[in-house]
Structure 1
Amino acid sequence: MTGPNRRTFLGMAGMVALAGRSVSAAPSEKVRLGVIGLSTRGTDLTKSIVKQKDAEIVAVCDIDDAKFANALSAIQAAGFKEPRQEKDYRKLLDDKSIDAIVVATPDHWHALLTVLGCQAGKDVYVEKPVSHNVVEGRRMVEAARKYNRIVQAGTQRRSMEHIKDAVEYIHAGSIGKVGMARSWIHQVRKPIGHGTPGPVPEGVDYAMWQGPAPDRPFMANRFHYNWHWFWNWGTGELGNNGIHGLDIARWGLGVDAPLRVTSGGGKYVFNDDQEVPDTQIVTWEFPETCLVWEHRMWSKHGTEGAGFGIAFYGDKGTLLIDDKGWRVEEGKEAGGKPKGDIGEHIANFLSCVKSREKPNAEIEIGHLSTRLCHLGNIAHRVGRKLTFDAATESFANDSDANKLLSREYGSRIEMPSQV
């Protein structure tokens, strides 16, 4: 299939932006949704959406014909009419009957689809990490503000009651002064091997999949899901899973931007084509506390007894959050079991689409937490400690690091400098 060229992409995007200036009132009953991206995450979101009484999926979109079946089955099993199926996201943006889009694509598409969605008058639920880089994340915030759109980041723990309870406990001073927080994930992933360029599978629009990213030849071992491990499309394990823990850690600490960031680790175990570190420890320094992230992609031996978690170390106790809920150690006895799942987060988004109130993981929250992931990855890639200026969202006197705050774009479409 011949892919769309830059003029076609930008021309359509411009028409969408102009069409989006006239926005109808928020829906009073069911929110009409279009889902873009139907791999595992998109299908999981679809399964949760169809459980909501005030939502209707009217269109689904993916660049791979093979990805439609599972999402459509979930919709049909819930007793809903089969939605329209498209391989071009612009068909959804052009449809004025669609109130909101759900973005579950690879990372390199998140920001652009969110901006174009806002320009088209759509509200947006965008998966984590919200952006591929810092500059794109800021464009998302600007677009949401300019077009008065509801944009929810897919960090669903923001809507879980037990997480809210744990954060409130910390903010109340119940574990005292928190001098450090830590988050981690340890699991065993499989190496992806060494690939060679090959033919694009039948039914896949690879040019559309690459979108704003520079062209790379098709290789099966860096396509579905494995794109996470290449800088051209993904953000590594730090962006993939780190965002969940870091978002809660930043929330609990009550911090915004770090003063300094450093990253240690590397690719120590996997002998394959992955570009990202399989082992990484990042430290962000704030005025009165610090935050540490750790991942091992080749070992499931946990930290604090859990494969994934967040720990807040206070001078009057330690609060731990993991898949068992939250609990306090070395302090007053307190805790709570897990309560809620992604359904509450989607329900919060739908409610805000109708009420126009800010959602639990409003896009600026998502950007500030995702920014931590980007800063950590940049520190890894340049190999040195970095000083960050929050006012300009840039590094002091470091041109190499500042180049990585944005990205090189391909010939088809790129993020506009002004939204």
Structure 2
Amino acid sequence: MKRRAFLQSSSLYLAGAGLAAALPMELLARKKAISPNAKINVGAIGINGMGWADLTALLKIPEVQCVALCDVDKSVLDKRAAELAQKGMKVATYSDYRKLLDNKDVDVVVIGTPDHWHCLVMHDACAAGKDVYCEKPAGNSIVECSTMVGAQQKYNRVVQVGQWQRSNKHYRDAMDFVHSGKLGQVRLVKAWAYQGWMKSIPMQPDGPVPAGVDYDMWLGPAVKRQFNPNRFHFNFRWYWDYAGGLMTDWGVHMIDYALLGMKANTPKSIVASGGKFAYPDDAEETPDTLQTVYEFNGFNMLWEHATGINDGPYSRDHGVAFIGNNGTLVVDRGGWEVIPEKINGKEKMDAVTRQKREDDGLTLHAQNFIDVVKSRKMEDLHCPIQDGAHVATVCQMGNISFRTGKKIYWDDVKRDFNDDKAANKLLSAEYHNGYKLPKV
């Protein structure tokens, strides 16, 4: 049986120990015990941060092996290839993702690039017949999100978005409680991220491109600019050319559960207010302080974020709160609880003490992806591209309201902002340097 056909029909399931939890030789012994026909070959594109974490999670699964790495920074590429070599994995290396996609041995692609590359790489990977694990947020614009959904449907590939909280049992249990109706009518949902670890980013002058960096490839479809160290690697998140700040970085995680709990589609209106209040003169473009109100039928959702502060609502630096007539459920990455509403000193429902997280969401998310790569049962994915694109779209709406400075109204039939020229101009990211948005 051909290897790809075997992968699609096999029901083989082996629970692997983590790279960090097992001795390298023990892990390798498990991998060598898997039939060559059953092995799933992974190529990772963008391996400096979460791309590497995602690849590491996949490599915990015995039938998964890495055969190719791609990064525009040679120092990162060499470092990661050396780390894999120490574990007995020899990989092909590339600086151009398109050459990795030409590698016929690659079955699955991990996308860990900056956000402005997600759409193009995912489309091209699907067109090349690869299944995809794509870091969040799905797209860097509302139109890109739609394009990514279209690419998955056109090429019928497995595409999982890296919103790994969906694989945590305690989050699913919390959603079951919200859906039970015990909270009573939920009229307000709060989602937030207070990031005390984020300090000011000092201004730095433009400078030479570091040795070994293919800067033109890093820019890709983004506007051509001189190299600036503030815009490279992790801090790309705080520049509109490449990403959407904390709204799309943490917002897709928290707002995802707000939408799931309320079984919500798209909002009717969005209004955002904030700015650079903490560090007004630093290098960041995106707001360090933001509040956004989303109006849905029957309830409002409030998103808020702040950098340089840890003490958010309910004394948590991140979370989602479903505020009902009978009580409030608060959930974060560590667990969930229910706080009863009190009237004249009498509680309207029973409290639920904190139910702690007991599993590793990223490891489970990777396993879920590989299970579906083998079964081809798309409905079993914990975060298919359709869901990842939905929450990324809602987050982009908040950024569009902030950037236009006004309340905006969404038309779900026309898929635009009620003929609002300023808002509709931001529906699609502008492509440069000869790159074009794929048509699907």
2:265 match: secondary structure:
coil
* CA positional deviation for 1:80: 3.9
Larger mean Cα displacement after TM superposition, 62-71 or 384-393: 62-71
Is 1:336 aligned to 2:351, yes or no? no
Q: Take 2:132 and 2:103, find their aligned partners in 1: how far apart are those partners?
A: 14
Change (3 A) 1:298 1:356: same
Change (3 A) 1:315 1:71: farther
Q: Take 2:434 and 2:84, find their aligned partners in 1: how far apart are those partners?
A: 33
Whether the aligned pair in 1 keeps the contact of 2:46 and 2:112 (CA below 8 Å) is yes
2:191 match: secondary structure:
strand
Whether the aligned pair in 1 keeps the contact of 2:46 and 2:113 (CA below 8 Å) is yes
Matched to 1:302, the amino acid is G
Change (3 A) 1:280 1:355: same
Whether the aligned pair in 2 keeps the contact of 1:46 and 1:74 (CA below 8 Å) is no
Choose which of 368, 374, 390 in structure 2 pairs with 1:368. Answer: 390
Larger mean Cα displacement after TM superposition, 151-160 or 330-339: 330-339
Q: Which residue of 1 aligns with 2:139?
A: 131
Choose which of 243, 266, 277 in structure 2 pairs with 1:257. Answer: 266
Q: Take 2:75 and 2:436, find their aligned partners in 1: how far apart are those partners?
A: 27
Unpaired stretches in structure 2, ≥5 consecutive residues: 11-37, 341-348
Change (3 A) 1:218 1:176: same
Deviations 1:132-190 (A, max 9, x none): 00000000001101111111011001111111111011112121221111111112312
Whether the aligned pair in 2 keeps the contact of 1:121 and 1:149 (CA below 8 Å) is yes
1:81 match: secondary structure:
coil
Q: Which residue of 2 aligns with 1:99?
A: 107
Matched to 1:145, the amino acid is Q
Change (3 A) 1:73 1:51: farther
Whether the aligned pair in 2 keeps the contact of 1:43 and 1:70 (CA below 8 Å) is no
Deviations 1:350-387 (A, max 9, x none): 11011111211000100111111100000000000000
Q: Which residue of 2 aligns with 1:323?
A: 333
Q: Take 1:301 and 1:67, find their aligned partners in 2: how far apart are those partners?
A: 35
Matched to 1:279, the amino acid is T
* CA positional deviation for 1:390: 1.6
Whether the aligned pair in 1 keeps the contact of 2:310 and 2:316 (CA below 8 Å) is no
Change (3 A) 1:74 1:342: farther
Unpaired stretches in structure 1, ≥5 consecutive residues: 1-22
Whether the aligned pair in 1 keeps the contact of 2:149 and 2:386 (CA below 8 Å) is yes
Whether the aligned pair in 2 keeps the contact of 1:259 and 1:388 (CA below 8 Å) is yes
1:199 match: secondary structure:
coil
Is 1:175 aligned to 2:183, yes or no? yes
Whether the aligned pair in 2 keeps the contact of 1:200 and 1:218 (CA below 8 Å) is yes
2:61 match: secondary structure:
coil
Larger mean Cα displacement after TM superposition, 164-173 or 200-209: 164-173
Whether the aligned pair in 2 keeps the contact of 1:37 and 1:105 (CA below 8 Å) is yes
Q: Take 2:323 and 2:58, find their aligned partners in 1: how far apart are those partners?
A: 37
Larger mean Cα displacement after TM superposition, 30-39 or 335-344: 335-344
Across the aligned residues of Structure 1 and Structure 2, the Cα RMSD in angstroms comes to 1.6
Q: Take 1:258 and 1:26, find their aligned partners in 2: how far apart are those partners?
A: 43
2:314 match: secondary structure:
coil
Change (3 A) 1:387 1:322: same
Q: Take 2:431 and 2:410, find their aligned partners in 1: how far apart are those partners?
A: 24
Residues 61-210 of structure 1: matches in 2 within 5 Å?
A: 61-72=70-81, 74-76=83-85, 79-188=87-196, 189-210=198-219
Matched to 1:39, the amino acid is N
TM-score, normalised with respect to structure 2: 0.87
Matched to 1:374, the amino acid is Q
1:285 match: secondary structure:
strand
Deviations 1:254-275 (A, max 9, x none): 1010000010111112111211
Percentage of identical aligned residues: 38
Matched to 1:128, the amino acid is K
Q: Take 1:134 and 1:201, find their aligned partners in 2: how far apart are those partners?
A: 33
Larger mean Cα displacement after TM superposition, 403-412 or 198-207: 403-412
Deviations 1:307-366 (A, max 9, x none): 111111111211111233011110323352113220000100011011111211000100
Matched to 2:201, the amino acid is I
Q: Which residue of 1 aligns with 2:422?
A: 400
Residues 202-281 of structure 1: matches in 2 within 5 Å?
A: 202-270=211-279, 271-281=281-291
Is 1:39 aligned to 2:48, yes or no? yes
Deviations 1:282-320 (A, max 9, x none): 111101111111111121222111111111111121111
Matched to 2:339, the amino acid is E
Q: Which residue of 1 aligns with 2:435?
A: 413
Matched to 1:132, the amino acid is N
Q: Take 1:313 and 1:95, find their aligned partners in 2: how far apart are those partners?
A: 51
Choose which of 331, 336, 349 in structure 1 pairs with 2:369. Answer: 349
Larger mean Cα displacement after TM superposition, 228-237 or 188-197: 188-197
Q: Take 2:291 and 2:182, find their aligned partners in 1: how far apart are those partners?
A: 28
Whether the aligned pair in 1 keeps the contact of 2:59 and 2:65 (CA below 8 Å) is yes
2:290 match: secondary structure:
strand
Runs of 4+ off more than 6 Å: none
Larger radius of gyration: 2
Q: Take 1:131 and 1:66, find their aligned partners in 2: how far apart are those partners?
A: 27
* CA positional deviation for 1:24: 5.4
How many residues align? The count is: 395
Matched to 1:219, the amino acid is N
Matched to 1:140, the amino acid is M
Deviations 1:33-85 (A, max 9, x none): 110001121222222122112211111110001112553355345x3412211
1:392 match: secondary structure:
coil
2:206 match: secondary structure:
coil
1:394 match: secondary structure:
coil
Q: Take 2:293 and 2:117, find their aligned partners in 1: how far apart are those partners?
A: 28
Matched to 1:368, the amino acid is H
2:313 match: secondary structure:
coil
Deviations 1:98-156 (A, max 9, x none): 11100000000011111111111111110011110000000000110111111101100
Q: Which residue of 2 aligns with 1:3?
A: none
Q: Take 2:322 and 2:6, find their aligned partners in 1: how far apart are those partners?
A: 40
Q: Take 1:293 and 1:86, find their aligned partners in 2: how far apart are those partners?
A: 39
Whether the aligned pair in 2 keeps the contact of 1:26 and 1:355 (CA below 8 Å) is no
